[in-house]
Chains A and B, each alone.
Chain A
C-alpha cells in the first residue's frame, strides 16, 4: 500500500495500537501493557490518547469491537475487547514497509545526525 493522501503515515499511537492488536485481541488495559512491552517502556500512552485513537480507528474501520468478556487475570468486570480488521492489517503492513524503507535509506546515506546544527 503506497503512501498517498488516502494512506498517510500513521501516528505513533495508532501504529503502536495496531502492532499490539496484531498479536491478538486485547482490551484497553491489555493494549497499554502490550505497547509498553513492545516499546520496552519507552512509549507510554494515557487513557485519553488510547481511547481517542481507538474511537477514530473504529470510525475508520481499522479496528473492531470483538466482544465483551471477563479477563480472568483481572477482576470480574466485563471488558470490551478490540481486534484488527483487514483494513487495519493492511495499514499496519504499509506502515512497517514505510519504516523499513526509511531505515534502509538511512543505512545507505548514513546522514550525520547534527549535520544541520553544525553546518556540515
Chain B
C-alpha cells in the first residue's frame, strides 16, 4: 500500500495541532507551506520521501515537546505570585481564626513574617532574572 503526498500532508497538519495554541496560531500555517514545498522539491528531484518524512516528523515532534515545556514554564512563572499571595493570605487568616481566644493567638504574626520572607525571596529572584534577561 503506497501512501500519497496528500495523506502525508494531512498527517503532518494533524501533528501540528499538538503545538501550544499561541505557537499554532502564529506559525503552523507557514510550517505546512514549507513542508509542502519540501515534499514538492523531493518529488521534482525524483528522490524518495520515506527518510525525509520520518526525519521531519521526528524533528517537529521534538520541537512540540520543547514548545510545550516552554509554555508550561512561562505559565507557572506567571502564576507563581498569585498562588503565593492566595495561599499566604489563606494561611494567615486561617491561623488567626484557629488560634483566636487561645494561648497561641499571636501565632499568625509568625505566619505573616514567614509569608513576607517567602514573598521577598521570590521577588528578589524575579528581579535577578529580569536583570539577566
Contact = CB atoms under 8 A, between A and B. Distances in A.
B59 A49 contact: yes
Contacts of A29: 33-34, 37-38
A46 B56 contact: yes
Q: Is the interface of B mostly helix, strand, loop or mixed?
A: helix
A32 interface: yes
Most chain-B CB neighbours within 10 Å: which of A28, A47, A54? A47
Contacts of A80: 29-30
B60 A28 contact: no
Contacts of B33: 27-29, 77, 79
Contact of B31 (A5, A47, A58, A77): A47
B56 A27 contact: no
Given A46-B55, A48-B60, A48-B61, A55 B34 contact: no
A16 to B, nearest CB: 15
Interface in B22-56: 23, 26-27, 29-31, 33-35, 37-38, 55-56
Given A6-B132, A29-B38, A55-B23, A49 B63 contact: yes
27 contacts: A5-B132, A27-B30, A27-B33, A27-B34, A28-B30, A28-B33, A29-B38, A46-B55, A46-B56, A46-B59, A47-B56, A47-B59, A48-B56, A48-B59, A48-B63, A48-B64, A49-B59, A51-B27, A51-B30, A52-B67, A54-B27, A55-B23, A55-B26, A55-B67, A58-B26, A77-B33, A80-B29
Interface of A: 5-6, 27-29, 32, 46-52, 54-55, 58, 74, 77, 79-80
Interface of B: 23, 26-27, 29-31, 33-35, 37-38, 55-56, 58-64, 66-67, 132-133
